[in-house]
């Protein structure tokens, strides 16, 4: 047991007096670690003892992980250590030596906490968070979305660095959750983890934290434009199948609980077939209705085309042709202007097409009318 772990008030006070009066000039790392731990939050001299202990012990992170008050020494280690792997090992050892893991809560059947969190906060939680953020910063380029960096690494090496960054953030989220629960800082670190991995699935993540994060991630405060649940909100279509084999994912569980799951491929195909059949029946019914209206009164059926061309039923074929030529002349620029992408050119093209299409539809009516009148005269 280190000096800093002595619990008796009189012993601690006596040690403070001794250290203040005589100091310690020895080189035993275990004693130096103890002095640092004992005075860590009270004396600038403490950090010197801690640094000496760390250096004389050959950078023994096992001993650092056992400290009750590691923050100041860990901050020093972060500043002077080039090897990111060393920081990752220190963070992991601090985490597993702490009581943070024993206070996990999780997803019960109703999503509430099944284990209360201790009001006592671990002194190493801040160090765990700082180490995680430092590792994340150093490995920022190790990202599945960064294809160029991925090409520059051997895949095995890249995977190792990716897992180091992922685990560092995961542990940092749990430590920050331990300190501040569903605070903005916890959600911020969780957001970094989500951006890296594509999911907020972390074993030990409180439901309250997950719920707050997912509502923010999906922007649930914004009303839906059509009242429907977007597929992007729902759990993966095949998540239930994976869950049968133990593939539990906390984010997918949350999505399933609130929005259900997306449709499977065969369900989409079946829906498409049903819709296609329904659409074919609707198209057939519309076509039959169009034929009926065309037969009953073709002039009424093509009334919109007649109106576009400025024609009436009473006109002769010759009069209708003259009106059509006048209308076409308005859009002559559509036929003699070189192709370009201007809005004016596009508009004139569309208008000319509409006029030509309308005349093709109604010219037959005037021809039939003229033929009928001629046969009556004879």
Q: What DSSP character marks residue 61?
A: H
Strand boundaries in 245-353, DSSP class E: none
Cα 223 to Cα 216, 218, 235: the distances in Å are 13, 11, 20
Local confidence pLDDT in tens for the 378 residues of the chain: 455 455 545 556 666 666 655 667 778 999 899 888 888 776 777 888 899 999 999 999 999 999 999 999 999 999 999 999 999 999 999 999 887 865 554 444 334 444 445 545 678 999 999 999 999 999 999 999 898 998 899 999 999 999 999 999 999 999 999 999 999 999 999 999 999 999 999 999 999 999 999 999 988 876 666 667 888 889 888 888 777 777 788 888 898 888 888 888 777 777 777 777 777 778 788 888 888 888 889 899 899 999 998 999 999 999 999 998 888 888 777 667 776 777 877 788 888 888 888 898 899 899 988 888 888 765
- 202: its two tokens: 């972390």
Helical pair 71-80 and 125-138, crossing angle rounded to 10 deg: 10
Structure tokens at 377: 């005269």
């Amino acid at each position: 047991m280190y000096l800093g772990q002595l619990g008796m008030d009189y012993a601690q006070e006596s040690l403070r007096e001794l250290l203040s009066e005589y100091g310690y000039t020895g080189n035993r790392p275990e004693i130096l670690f103890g002095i640092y731990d004992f005075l860590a939050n009270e004396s600038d001299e403490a950090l010197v003892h801690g640094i000496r202990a760390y250096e004389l012990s050959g950078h023994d992170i096992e001993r650092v992980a056992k400290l009750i008050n590691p923050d100041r020494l860990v901050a020093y280690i972060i500043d002077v250590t080039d090897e990111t792997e060393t920081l990752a090992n220190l963070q992991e050892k601090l985490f597993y030596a702490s009581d943070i893991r024993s206070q996990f809560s999780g997803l019960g059947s109703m999503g509430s906490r099944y284990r209360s969190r201790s009001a006592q906060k671990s002194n190493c939680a801040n160090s765990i968070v700082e180490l995680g953020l430092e590792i994340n910063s150093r490995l920022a380029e190790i990202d599945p979305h960064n294809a160029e960096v991925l090409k520059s690494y051997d895949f095995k090496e890249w995977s190792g660095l990716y897992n180091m960054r992922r685990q560092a953030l995961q542990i940092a989220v749990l430590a920050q959750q331990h300190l501040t629960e569903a605070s903005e800082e916890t959600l911020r670190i969780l957001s970094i983890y989500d951006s890296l991995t594509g999911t907020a699935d972390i074993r030990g993540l409180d439901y309250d934290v997950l719920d707050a994060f997912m509502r923010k991630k999906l922007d649930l405060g914004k009303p839906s434009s059509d009242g429907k649940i977007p597929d992007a909100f729902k759990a993966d279509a095949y998540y239930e199948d994976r869950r049968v084999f133990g593939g539990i994912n906390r984010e997918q569980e949350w999505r399933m609980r609130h929005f259900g799951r997306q449709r499977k491929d065969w369900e989409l195909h079946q829906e498409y077939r049903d819709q296609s059949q329904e659409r074919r029946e609707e198209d057939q019914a519309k076509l039959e209705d169009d034929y009926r209206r065309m037969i009953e009164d073709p002039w009424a059926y093509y009334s919109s085309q007649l109106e576009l061309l400025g024609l009436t039923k009473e006109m002769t074929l010759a009069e209708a042709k003259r009106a059509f030529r006048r209308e076409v002349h308005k859009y002559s620029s559509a036929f003699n202007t070189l192709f370009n992408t201007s809005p004016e050119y596009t508009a004139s093209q569309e208008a000319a097409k509409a006029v030509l299409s309308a005349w093709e539809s109604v010219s037959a009516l005037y021809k039939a009318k003229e033929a009928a009148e001629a046969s009556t005269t004879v």
